[in-house]
Amino acid sequence: MLTQNGMIRLTDEEMKEFSSYLKANYGIDLTKKKQLIEARMHQILAQKKVNSFTDYFKLLKQERPEEIDAMLNRLTTNHTYFMREPKHFDFLRDVILPMQEKVNAGKEFSVWSAGCSTGEEAYTAAMVIRDFFAFRKWDFKILATDISTQAMEGAKAAIYHKDALSNLPPVWLKKYFVKKADPYYALSEDVKKDVIFRKFNLMDPFCFTKPFDLIFCRNVMIYFDQPTKDKLIEKFYHALKKGGYLFIGHSETVQRGITAFTYIKPSVYRKG
Ligand SMILES: C[S@@+](CC[C@H](N)C(=O)[O-])C[C@H]1O[C@@H](n2cnc3c(N)ncnc32)[C@H](O)[C@@H]1O
């Protein structure tokens, strides 16, 4: 069915099928976002020259990775910026890293930015850690993952609009970026090398070789329903070292009573 502006409408049945598929495979709950799906999928349906979502599902069911990636690239919300929710970065600098210096004889520190989008969160963490350790030799690694391949292409290129950088201290802008044609800045190769980007669906089983010291999963679970969030929190718990931290978005919560995490302060949790 077509709307007046040529957009293909989702019937109630199609909406049910599509939202169940998204929830079951990617955790994303768009049950109440019919218009958003129609608007964001419009271009893909036009390119595929299909006349209904039912026809589009037939293509999707062939499970071609490029088809699925195109859909996820359109349906995920990737908004982010450097130094977003800065209290987490203060906590990293003022609490976590000083504690690591005292207790971590191996001088290895690992971070996971889960749902990293275009990389600003992971790169901000890299700058905080670099600045903290300065010339002291620490081996820190940052893994950054997302299901949007398009967002991660942006992360790997690491060319940012000045608006995404407006919360960064000017001294870091000078130290870690090179000005390109206005309004863009390129991140230094050194900081780029601190972060490894991988496509990863948080609904899949976690099979990391080593546990992490710190996991960021901020502004990702807002798109998931409660049972999906609860399961994911449990998986994060097992993916952390004892004493490791989980940061979630400031508008998100972990249900007390159902998690083994210790609540430290809003949006900050510790294992043990
Ligand atoms: C709003 S961004 C958050 C970026 C950053 N963490 C922040 O707080 O600014 C949400 C990201 O979660 C990703 N995402 C959603 N569902 C996911 C899933 N099942 N697995 C991995 N990433 C997912 C989206 O692709 C999107 O890039």
From the alpha carbon of 113, which atom of ligand 1 is closest?
6
Cα of 105 vs centre of ligand 1, distance in Å, is 33
Q: Residue 141 forms beta bridges with which residues?
A: 110
Confidence of residue 55 (pLDDT cuts 50, 70, 90): very high
Cα of 33 vs centre of ligand 1, distance in Å, is 17
Q: Name every protein residue with a CB atom under 6 angstroms from any ligand 1 atom.
A: 26-28, 76-80, 84, 115-117, 121, 146-148, 151, 201-203, 218-220, 223, 249
Walk me through the domains of the chain, giving residue ranges and CATH numbers. 12-75 (no CATH), 87-158+190-270 (3.40.50.150)
Cα of 116 vs centre of ligand 1, distance in Å, is 6
> For a pocket test of ligand 1, which of 29, 117, 156 has the largest count of ligand atoms closer than 8 A to its C-beta?
117
Cα of 115 vs centre of ligand 1, distance in Å, is 4
Q: To which residue do tokens 């006349």 refer?
A: 51
150 burial level (CB within 10 Å; 0-12, 13-18, 19+): middle
Residue identifier of the C-alpha nearest atom 2 of ligand 1: 78
Q: What is the pLDDT of residues 212-269, one digit of tens each?
A: 999 999 999 999 999 999 999 999 999 999 999 999 999 998 988 889 999 999 999 9
From the alpha carbon of 151, which atom of ligand 1 is closest?
27
Q: What is the pLDDT of residues 175-226, one digit of tens each?
A: 999 999 999 999 999 999 999 999 999 999 999 999 999 999 999 999 999 9
- This model's pTM is above 0.95: yes
Q: What are the angstrom distances between the C-alpha of 189 and each of 90, 109, 141, 161?
A: 24, 20, 15, 17
SS3 content of the chain, % helix, strand, coil (to 5): 45, 20, 35
